[in-house]
Amino acid sequence: MFSLKRFCTNATRVGCLNFSSAVEKPKTAVLMLNMGGPQSIDQVHDYLLRIMTDRDMIQLPVQSKLGPWIAQRRTPDVQKKYTQIGGGSPILKWTKLQGGLMCKELDKMSPETAPHKHYVGFRYVNPLTENTLQEIERDGPERVVLFSQYPQYSCATSGSSFNSIFHHYRENTFPKNIKWSVIDRWATHPLLIKTFADRIREELSKFVETKRDNVVILFTAHSLPLKAVNRGDSYPSEIGATVHLVMQELGKTNPYSLAWQSKVGPLPWLAPATDDAIKGYVRQGLKNFILVPIAFVNEHIETLHELDIEYCDELAKEVGVEEMRRAAAPNDHPLFIKALSSIVADHLKSKEPINSKFLMRCPMCVNSRCRDSKRWYRQVCTL
């Protein structure tokens, strides 16, 4: 079974490292955008409140009233889950470590844009993106790269982070003396693919040889409401592209499938759910699995609790799984650090500050904030 203790210990250790403080006056700032996670139990309510009132993330009827009610109602249960994984999310500690290692490589790979400094901008918990933007302005870099830490783009995740930056500068003065550019998606980057493949091989090697070839590689990603999918959100296809390339890298040695986790509410979402997929395969006689969190670049509650505790431990015992392991998230894997630094280095050398795909809206988009945001990015991202 997967070792939860191993990742909690590593996450605690990396929290002691702070690479950002080493660079006081960067030439290039790299803002790493992500959802974030509460670092302590007392942050859980505000974290949930921000999620439940963000219409880019989730659309609810009478959201200004229903969102706070749901956040209040869910807080005790979510606090219990964070308690079970050590009292808080390690996502900030991992992101800081990844950013520091990335910038160290970038200084070597792209000396003409050095020194580089990473910043963390979370959507729903400190360090909040809007506060980090103020920190960047105080540091006064020549260029800022807005780097989504979601490899696969979704309007609910990446889109919400980018929209929050637009909203911040709609209410505050935009710094005219800084060049801005965007890295919005990188689902098929070769080194990302190699990282996932290597994480899978690490777990496959732990199965006895007689079972190894029949282990089901079950890729799992955060689900998405079908309403968003039907609007044209590119997330499912980008997840599928990552899965396809990872299996090509592995040589298609094992049976594999893709399932979806973390559904919230009664409306239809992408299916099958990861737990339902496990139950279905066990009924078919398949009883050895590796779960692969294909959309997450570091450990957090959906890997450490949902996958490790709810599925690899509790569900596995309930349905009679022989052995279920979980591939680690990329974390500080050397190939992944090379992926991050290569993505940014190539972007800095490129003459395109923004991806044309990013400037497109979903074909059935009705979100005026998204429309205005993309118009704004088209104007401000120029080199």
pLDDT in tens, 252-294: 889 999 999 999 877 899 999 999 999 999 999 999 999 999 9
Q: Supply the pLDDT for residue 5.
A: 40
DSSP 3-state percent helix, strand, coil across the chain (nearest 5): 50, 15, 35
Q: Supply the pLDDT for residue 60.
A: 82
pTM of the predicted protein model: 0.93
CA dist 37 to 40, 91, 128, Å?
9, 6, 11
Are β-strands 143-148 and 179-183 bridged in parallel, bridged antiparallel, or unpaired?
A: parallel
Separation CA 324–CA 216 (nearest Å): 9
Positions in the chain whose pLDDT score sits under 70: 1-23
Separation CA 57–CA 28 (nearest Å): 30
Q: How many CB atoms lie within 10 A of CB 299?
A: 27
Could you give the domains of the chain? 14-186+333-380 (3.40.50.1400), 190-326 (3.40.50.1400)
Q: Supply the pLDDT for residue 23.
A: 65
